[in-house]
A and B are shown apart, each in its own frame.
Chain A
Amino acid sequence: MKNVLLALSTSGTDDAVIAYAVGRAKKDGAGLVALYILDLDLANSVFDNFTDIGFIGDKPSSELSEAIMKEYRQRGYEELGRVQVKAMEEAVPFEPLMEQGNYVEKTLAIIVDRKVSTAVLVKHKQRSLYKYFTISHADEVKKAANCEVVIFVEKG
């Protein structure tokens, strides 16, 4: 069975993006795989920042990075729940995934593993100047993926 992949944003995904992914899965007769990635690098960098630069002890620093991961995990469940409700309304087969690791690597691995035909990704709006120097994770996935990739631009 074909699958449409929706890679959710950690700062909340617009209803319009979810609606598009669900609608696209329904139109293609595909299943919907919703992916939420917990970025371990971020929690680690918070820990390093507080210990190396703030000279804060291990306990408060690790409590802080755990608080961040807990928050992200909760947000992930909420986001996956939102997609599930929409998928159930449209009677689209749905699989929720929460993975830890690097966004690009994980998304590409899921595309291969779940035989994804279309990946729906979200990226932040970038200023023109930044576009010359950086590439978004979503664009990196698009460059390397062996399927159709649709990217929505998040404002703010």
Chain B
Amino acid sequence: MSVEIDTRPIWVLLLLKALRPFFFIALALGFYWLITLEPPRGLSDAGLKAIAVFAVCLVLWVTNALPLAITSLLAMVLVPLFGILPVKQTYALFGNEAVFFILGAFILAGAVMHSGLSTRIALAIMDRFGASPKRLLLSVYLLAATFSFVMSEHAVAAMLFPIVLEVSKSLGLKPGKSNYGKLLFLALAWGCIIGGVGTFLGGGRVPLAVGILKEISGVQIGFIEYSIAVFPLVAIMLVIGYFMLTRFFPMDVVDVQGVHAVLGRRLKGLGKMSGAEWATGAVLGLTILAWIALGRHGLSVVALSSVVVLFVLRLVKWRDIEEYVNWGIILMYGGAIVLGAALDYSGAAKWMVDALIGGWAGSPLAVFAGLSLLSIMLTEAMSNSAVIAVLVPVSISLSGTLGMSPSVLTYSIMVSAGLAFMFPMSTPGNAIVVSSNYVTVRDMAIPGAVMVFISWIVFNLVAYLYWPIIGLGR
């Protein structure tokens, strides 16, 4: 038996041990100090407490000192505890339609992954179209983007990563040194990011923002309405993304024939396409058609009906779903909606807007540009769902002050919050790509910063030039 000796200096060890309790004590004291202050003019006592809860959640979401879902749970504890909202109303908000839509969408995605359909499609497309280095790269990039239209972008990254890793190994690409290795992994990450912005299904971010918007202002954004609004951004960014990738990292391989043996072997291992795969694909396809057809209404009803159909047809078992769905998502999004509603109903959001933003927020265009920039910057350093939870309630109040459509400002945040190109901490897709060692943080940060800037400009141009044509924001 060997004894491992910690060789770090004693003061470092003591500091590390004391840091976490000290952090939480400081946070609790800060919270106590805030709620015992005399409320400023125009702010109610409940509003002051709502701001204190908001500040605690913001710190915890930014620092990741607690899992995101547990921070949301804390909001659901503090809001009724300090009388910001009645207990009954707090937990009724938890049953918001958006929460059940997200749940249904994640279960559907889990069923698709469990059936093996998504992996089969990915392998078949790479094998069929990846004849040259350029085409193989495009296959990875567009596959990641297309899958992210119908599944959570994080799930797509998790699914495609082992395939891209095998592809890179079969080509003998050197981790950290091969440009083509960097290209393949960054194409995976960027494809997921850009595709994830395209529909409600790319992650929980958009349904969460839409849920908060409906809860606070009563305004609803439809499934197809959203996709029509962001389609030009997605299309333009996909083209720019590919251009940027190949400019930053010129291809250093000329032949990718070795890949096909690997892909072919894996496809052969999957056998013939099963009835369950066909049926799961059909359920997913019909669900999307129903979402498009029903527009603004019944999104969660459709999602949950499809889940029931999956079980009626015995395409999945409950155990399978438990393995693929993280139930923390319900806590995260339920709590975020509670927090948003608490800020609005207590008048805290309006007070923050008047006190902090109202003075400089003159032109609607500047507000849109400013909020989208703030959202895009925050999402580089914190979870995109947390960005939504923090910014959307305030932006809805701001829209009332400025006489703007609340849905337009919600768009400015929910779309920008998905454009996390720069760091591993920005989104799990980036983290996994860097952990492959094919891409360094520097490889990601510099092109990522350029992409962030370009996507912000393109998004604002789309909003300014294209949205009036489709009648958005009138």
Interface contact A105-B174, CB-CB below 8 Å: no
Nearest-CB distance from B443 to chain A (Å)?
8
Nearest-CB distance from B449 to chain A (Å)?
15
Interface contact A12-B323, CB-CB below 8 Å: no
Interface contact B176-A60, CB-CB below 8 Å: no
The complex places the Cα of A54 from the Cα of B67 at a distance, in Å, of: 11
Given contacts A12-B177, A52-B68, A67-B161, contact A57 B325 (CB under 8 A): yes
B50-77 vs A, Cβ < 8 Å mask (1 yes, 0 no): 0000000000000010011100000000
| A17 at the binding interface (Cβ < 8 Å) | no
Given contacts A64-B158, A109-B2, contact A52 B7 (CB under 8 A): no
Determine, out of B15-23, B220-228, B262-270, B326-334, the stretch whose residues face the partner at the interface: B326-334
Interface contact A50-B328, CB-CB below 8 Å: no
| B358 at the binding interface (Cβ < 8 Å) | no
Interface contact B323-A58, CB-CB below 8 Å: yes
The complex places the Cα of A42 from the Cα of B442 at a distance, in Å, of: 18
Return chain B residues, CB-CB under 8 Å to A144: 7
Return chain B residues, CB-CB under 8 Å to A156: 176-177, 440, 442
Given contacts A11-B437, A71-B165, contact A55 B332 (CB under 8 A): yes
Q: Which of A53, A63, A109 contacts B428 (CB 8 A)?
A: A53
Return chain A residues, CB-CB under 8 Å to B68: 52-53
Nearest CB in chain A to that of B332: its residue: A55
Q: How large is the interface on B (under 10, 10 to 19, 20 to 34, 35 or more residues)?
A: 35 or more
- Chief secondary structure at chain B's binding surface: helix
Nearest-CB distance from B428 to chain A (Å)?
4
Nearest-CB distance from A14 to chain B (Å)?
10
- Chief secondary structure at chain A's binding surface: helix
Interface contact A57-B428, CB-CB below 8 Å: no
Return chain A residues, CB-CB under 8 Å to B437: 10-11
| B125 at the binding interface (Cβ < 8 Å) | no
Given contacts A10-B437, A52-B69, contact A61 B158 (CB under 8 A): yes
Return chain A residues, CB-CB under 8 Å to B159: 60
The complex places the Cα of A42 from the Cα of B158 at a distance, in Å, of: 15
Interface contact A68-B436, CB-CB below 8 Å: yes
The complex places the Cα of A105 from the Cα of B162 at a distance, in Å, of: 30
A98-119 vs B, Cβ < 8 Å mask (1 yes, 0 no): 0000001100110001000000
| B152 at the binding interface (Cβ < 8 Å) | yes
Given contacts A11-B175, A49-B431, contact A57 B110 (CB under 8 A): yes
Given contacts A12-B175, A46-B432, A50-B428, contact A55 B328 (CB under 8 A): yes
Given contacts A46-B435, A105-B6, contact A53 B324 (CB under 8 A): no
| A59 at the binding interface (Cβ < 8 Å) | yes
A26-63 vs B, Cβ < 8 Å mask (1 yes, 0 no): 00000000000000001001100111111111111101
The complex places the Cα of A64 from the Cα of B332 at a distance, in Å, of: 23
The complex places the Cα of A74 from the Cα of B436 at a distance, in Å, of: 13
Interface contact B326-A57, CB-CB below 8 Å: yes
Given contacts A67-B165, A105-B4, contact A54 B436 (CB under 8 A): no
| B155 at the binding interface (Cβ < 8 Å) | yes
| A75 at the binding interface (Cβ < 8 Å) | yes
Nearest CB in chain A to that of B382: its residue: A53
Scan residues 71-105 of chain A and give those whose CB is less than 8 A from a CB of chain B: 71, 74-75, 104-105
The complex places the Cα of A104 from the Cα of B154 at a distance, in Å, of: 32
Scan residues 157-193 of chain B and give those whose CB is less than 8 A from a CB of chain A: 157-159, 161-162, 165, 169, 174-177
Return chain B residues, CB-CB under 8 Å to A104: 7
The complex places the Cα of A16 from the Cα of B7 at a distance, in Å, of: 30
Interface contact B176-A50, CB-CB below 8 Å: no
Interface contact A52-B436, CB-CB below 8 Å: no
| B113 at the binding interface (Cβ < 8 Å) | yes
B450-464 vs A, Cβ < 8 Å mask (1 yes, 0 no): 000000000000000
Interface contact B113-A60, CB-CB below 8 Å: yes
Interface contact A51-B436, CB-CB below 8 Å: no
The residue in A50, A55, A109 that gathers the most chain B C-beta atoms within 10 A of its C-beta is A55
The complex places the Cα of A45 from the Cα of B431 at a distance, in Å, of: 9
| B291 at the binding interface (Cβ < 8 Å) | no
Interface contact B162-A67, CB-CB below 8 Å: yes
Nearest-CB distance from A138 to chain B (Å)?
14
Nearest-CB distance from B319 to chain A (Å)?
10
The complex places the Cα of A53 from the Cα of B2 at a distance, in Å, of: 36
| B255 at the binding interface (Cβ < 8 Å) | no
Q: Which of B6, B7, B324, B428 contacts A59 (CB 8 A)?
A: B324
Return chain A residues, CB-CB under 8 Å to B329: 55
Question: Which 9 A-B pairs have CB atoms at the shortest separation, nearest pair first?
Answer: A54-B154, A59-B323, A54-B428, A57-B324, A55-B329, A11-B176, A60-B158, A55-B326, A52-B67
Interface residues of A (CB under 8 A from B): 10-12, 42, 45-46, 49-61, 63-64, 67-68, 71, 74-75, 104-105, 108-109, 113, 144, 156
Q: Other than A12-B175, A46-B432, A64-B162, give 15 A-B pairs with Cβ distance below 8 A.
A: A11-B175, A49-B432, A50-B432, A53-B154, A53-B428, A54-B154, A54-B155, A54-B158, A54-B428, A55-B204, A56-B155, A61-B158, A63-B158, A109-B4, A156-B442
21 A-B residue pairs with CB within 8 Å = A11-B175, A49-B432, A51-B326, A52-B64, A52-B67, A52-B68, A52-B69, A52-B328, A53-B383, A54-B428, A55-B152, A56-B152, A56-B326, A57-B326, A60-B159, A63-B158, A64-B158, A71-B165, A109-B4, A113-B2, A156-B440
